[in-house]
Chain A
Amino acid sequence: MIREITLGQYYPADSVLHRLDPRVKLFGTLLYVISLFLFQSFTGYIVATVFLASLIAISHVPVKFMFRGLKAIFILLIFTAVLNMFLTPGRELVSFWKITITIEGLRFAAFMILRLTYLITGSSIMTLTTTPSNLTDGLEKSMRWMNILKVPVHEIAMMMSIALTFIPVLLEETDRIIKAQQARGADFESGNLIHRIRALVPILVPLFVSAFRRANDLALAMESRCYRGGEGRTKMRPLRYERRDIIAYLVLALYIACIITVGILF
């Protein structure tokens, strides 16, 4: 059950998107997110939809996985949409009591939902097709210029990569602890709120203990293998652009050009 959580999850498959250099995907995702805010028109959404749909099609990841991320922000989506619907001034569509729904509001709300949906889905494509270690590699390399500003880029990337690899491990551990306590008759489903919160203690304490133990073990293991930060450290598989990455950049440029044109014309 707890494995249903797919935050930042990687889906192993064999596709062009999986093989792309992570820097392309990071940069692409950034541009894509920005592009969603460059147009106001319906035509713009057609371009974005075509782009997104083709990405999903070539990613070889089941569509069901793409939209799982949306479940988590479903409430947020509805909330923003409703607020926008009621609070945008404009021509009146219907009105009852003190609430007025305007045509502009409705249009704005619909676009808002679409925009957020596209945003989440687009970023899920990146995390679903890139392993955590690849992702942090890409981040580290594209952010290296920040070293000049004394930002510890390598350390940040290392922390991210450890955090990402620990998410599934800790989820699994949580699952196991829940089962172990259930085997001792623990009940997490019934009772009032206070009762349920107290029922979490038998899960949280062992979970924290285990997280600290793991962190400690990991630190020792890293130290015993002479880890001492990023200085002078080389990569086993250094990132290098291939032909497909250049093509991907071109496709990306084409998409952005289309969006900008649409944004200006319509």
Chain B
Amino acid sequence: MSILVNHLDHIYNPGTVFEVKALSDVSFSVDEGEYIGLVGHTGSGKSTLAAHLNGLMKPTGGGIYYNGVDIASEGYNLKELRGHIGLVFQYPEHQLFEEDVFTDVCFGPKNLGLSRTEVEMRAYDALKAVGIDDDHFYVSPFDLSGGEKRRVAIAGVLAMKPEVLILDEPCAGLDPAGRDEILAVADELHDSLGITIILISHSMDDLARHVKRILVMNDGKLVMDGTAREVFSHREELEAMGLAVPEVTAVLADLKKAGIPVRDDLITVEEAAKEILRVFGR
């Protein structure tokens, strides 16, 4: 599995006053088994990029290659692509429509043309994977809580057994427990099933804790691409873009400025706690 994004451009409503350059000259590649975070200010083009990776929009320039084949080429089987690259939209719970949870999750695999048993097995596995109990399977999706709806919607995409899962702000509007649950699901999918994950998020702390590599978008351009530690070492640049570094990284940097000899390239609370204890000799 490999994805190559090559000089991708996207302009909305070209040639009118409503013209917006949402993506300009974006290039990067994704290898099998990566766990990538995608950040950027609101309107920087993250969702537009995600829609392109899923073949939902046609690039106005450049291209995307999945396993070496241009997905915008004539006759490319986009339905099959969408089975391989799963996209969970921002607020995915707004796409639920069936009478009960289980049938809704079946929608995706059914569209892939699988047999009924296969469809139901996948739906069952997906619902289990996101932690929905059997007694919720046959209630209306509209009767669930926000967090449960979100998990059912994610299951709807998971049931298609994608090799790559793109999650567009899966934690927006959830409480801390709900957020941790969703991210734990993502971790589990990555660690035990080897699914490649692209996580779009505004929370630097979440990214620091979960992803290995971070892509930073600014005004439609890809401005940084590196390991989480590398990216978070550019505090000023990130802040100039309206972003930030994880809170603990900022704390460490300020401690260093105040004359305490701590390392300031640590990004998670656990690492930082250990470092501070080390410096104070405990």
Q: Which residues of A are at the interface with B, using a C-beta cutoff of 8 A?
A: 3, 11-13, 62, 176-177, 179-187, 201-202, 205-206, 209-210
Residues of A within 8 A of B86 (CB): 183
User: Which stretch of B21-29, B35-43, B87-95 is in the interface?
Assistant: B87-95
Complex-state Cα separation, A183 to B153, whole angstroms: 12
**A62 with B16: in contact, given A179-B51, A205-B97 (CB under 8 Å)?**
yes
Q: How many interface residues does B have (CB within 8 Å)?
A: 25
CB distance from A166 to the nearest CB of B (A): 16
A–B Cβ pairs within 8 angstroms, 30 of them:
A3-B13, A13-B17, A62-B16, A176-B94, A179-B51, A180-B92, A181-B107, A182-B82, A183-B54, A183-B86, A183-B87, A183-B89, A183-B157, A184-B82, A184-B156, A184-B157, A185-B79, A185-B82, A185-B83, A185-B107, A185-B108, A185-B112, A186-B111, A187-B79, A201-B97, A202-B107, A205-B97, A206-B97, A209-B94, A209-B142
Which single member of B13, B16, B82, B96 contacts A183 (CB below 8 Å)? Answer: B82
**Structural contact, B94 and A206, CB atoms closer than 8 A:** yes
**A183 with B56: in contact, given A3-B13, A62-B16, A176-B89 (CB under 8 Å)?**
yes
* Interface-centre pick from B13, B79, B82, B97 (highest chain A CB count, 10 A): B97
**Structural contact, A187 and B13, CB atoms closer than 8 A:** no
Which single member of B16, B17, B108, B142 contacts A184 (CB below 8 Å)? Answer: B108
* Chain A interface helix/strand/loop/mixed: helix
Q: Is B160 an interface residue (CB 8 A)?
A: yes
Residues of A within 8 A of B56 (CB): 179, 182-183
CB distance from B164 to the nearest CB of A (A): 12
Q: Other than A13-B17, A184-B156, A185-B82, give 6 A-B pairs with Cβ distance below 8 A.
A: A62-B16, A176-B89, A180-B89, A181-B95, A183-B56, A206-B95
Residues of B within 8 A of A202 (CB): 95, 97, 107
Complex-state Cα separation, A183 to B47, whole angstroms: 13
CB distance from B262 to the nearest CB of A (A): 45
CB distance from A39 to the nearest CB of B (A): 36
Residues of B within 8 A of A13 (CB): 17
**Structural contact, A179 and B111, CB atoms closer than 8 A:** no
Complex-state Cα separation, A176 to B56, whole angstroms: 10
Complex-state Cα separation, A187 to B16, whole angstroms: 30
